[in-house]
Amino acid sequence: MQNECQLCQKSQNLQDIHVTTGSGSFSGNVTVCGECQNAMNDLEKSDEYFRLLEGAIYVPDEATQILSYRLLERLREQGWAAQILESLYIEPEVLAWAKDAPKEGAASAQTTVDAHGTPLQTGDTVTLIKDLEVKGAGFTAKRGTIVKNIRLTDDAKYIEGKINGSTIVLVAAYMKKSV
């Protein structure tokens, strides 16, 4: 664990992401901040946030380069990402590792985080930070509602919790972890 995000140099809510290759030829960690983790969990909506990869892909750390490359590949449809990839000059060995993503295809082990990038675990208590219309159940869960004993789901963007006796799927980014 570094003391700052290896992608953007912020130091809030740091956590390590494990980076490996399908063939097991490389294994390393990248320390990322909560904001970058949030953006990774919601890559389609990250817009130009990851333009910062233009710098990160050249830091002298192989794991950071691999993670940056894989994120850029997933962002390729956005013209700016394609441009960075087209003019890329990184070590052939690093490039080969970057292209050899593990089967799940994930650039990272996704971590479920709340609105502030704080990691969430099954059993945590969270507070809603905005009113949420609960489709199907016919009520609105008010901002400030406390949801106890949440469960993580397969998708890092969502958690499950009970409100008014109904178990519903909630967007993790609209939650704040209670301490």
- Tell me if 17 contacts Zn ion by CB under 5 A: no
**34-63 mask for Zn ion (x: CB under 5 A)?**
--x---------------------------
> What phi, psi does 63 have (nearest 5°)?
-60, -40
Does residue 113 interact with Zn ion by CB under 5 A?
no
Size of the site for Zn ion (CB under 5 A): 6
Q: Of 14, 17, 30, 33, which one interacts with Zn ion (CB under 5 A)?
A: 33
Question: Binder to Zn ion among 8, 39, 71, 113 (CB under 5 A)?
Answer: 8
What residues does 170 pair with on adjacent strands? 159
66 binds Zn ion (CB under 5 A): no
Distances in Å between the Cα of 23 and the Cα atoms of 67, 87, 91 are 16, 27, 18
Q: How far is the CB of 108 from Zn ion (least distance, A)?
A: 12
**What does the binding site for Zn ion look like in residue numbers (CB under 5 A)?**
5, 7-8, 10, 33, 36
